[in-house]
Amino acid sequence: MLLYHDPRAPNPRRVRIFLAEKGVAYDTIEVSIAASEHQKPEFRKKNPLALLPVLELEDGRVLRESMAICRYLEEVHPEPNLLGVDAWERAQIEQWNRHAELELLLPIAQVFRNTNAFWNGRIKQAPEFGEIMREQVCSRFDWLETELARRPYLAGPRFTVADITAVCAIDFGKVSNLRIKAETHPHLAAWHARVYERPSIKA
């Protein structure tokens, strides 16, 4: 398997952590977003949307969208389970993973895209919208603080894909000065430290 990724981008990191948890060997090709390599016709043959990650199988078939890739990997490498073992747990994990995508990763990415000089001249920016998204992220950190006071991981008692999405989102916030602090968010910070005990986090 071959993963097209950018080491600095959050969505490819989700897949790398997922693969590390599964213990699956794979090769990588770095596609630099900063150098606009993802816009080149060669990469667009893999993903016309010019987005990372893309997973290419041995037979040349390609998969894009982080969760589609994770679902495929879970089917072909069922252990350790990261997407749920029964109807209730699968639904819980889906719910929390969607929360992590829509309530954390999306607004955090919007802060970056609309306020950071990296995107100057690359996309149209709306800094005011970026600042509105910043407020939303801060309120979501407060909300997660209350949730994680009740259980060790996002979707329940064990580590799942929802934690992978959330940690990649939160870490990506740092570039926009969105940080969780132990003084204001002790349970969220403790969860983050717990996730960082896992070797897969270095992937």
Measured from the CB atom, the residue of 30 and 65 that comes closer to ligand GSH is 65
Least gap, CB of 25 to ligand GSH (angstroms)? 22
Maximum Cα interatomic distance, the chain, rounded to a whole number of Å: 51
Least gap, CB of 66 to ligand GSH (angstroms)? 3
Least gap, CB of 38 to ligand GSH (angstroms)? 6
- Packing angle of the helix pair 10-22, 66-76 (nearest 10 deg): 10
Strands (E) in the chain, as ranges, are 2-5, 27-30, 54-56, 62-64
| Cα 42 from Cα 37, distance rounded (Å) | 9
Least gap, CB of 131 to ligand GSH (angstroms)? 20
Least gap, CB of 53 to ligand GSH (angstroms)? 6
Measured from the CB atom, the residue of 10 and 130 that comes closer to ligand GSH is 10
Measured from the CB atom, the residue of 50 and 138 that comes closer to ligand GSH is 50
| Cα 44 from Cα 147, distance rounded (Å) | 40
Q: Return left, alpha or beta for 85; rule: phi > 0 is left, psi -120 to 50 is alpha, else beta.
A: alpha
With beta carbons less than 8 A apart as the criterion, state whether 52 and 9 touch.
yes
With beta carbons less than 8 A apart as the criterion, state whether 121 and 165 touch.
no
- Strand-by-strand arrangement of the 2-5 sheet: 27-30, 2-5, 54-56, 62-64
Least gap, CB of 55 to ligand GSH (angstroms)? 10
Measured from the CB atom, the residue of 126 and 189 that comes closer to ligand GSH is 126
Give the residues lining the site for ligand GSH (CB under 6 A): 9-11, 33, 38, 50-53, 64-66
Measured from the CB atom, the residue of 63 and 201 that comes closer to ligand GSH is 63
Measured from the CB atom, the residue of 38 and 192 that comes closer to ligand GSH is 38
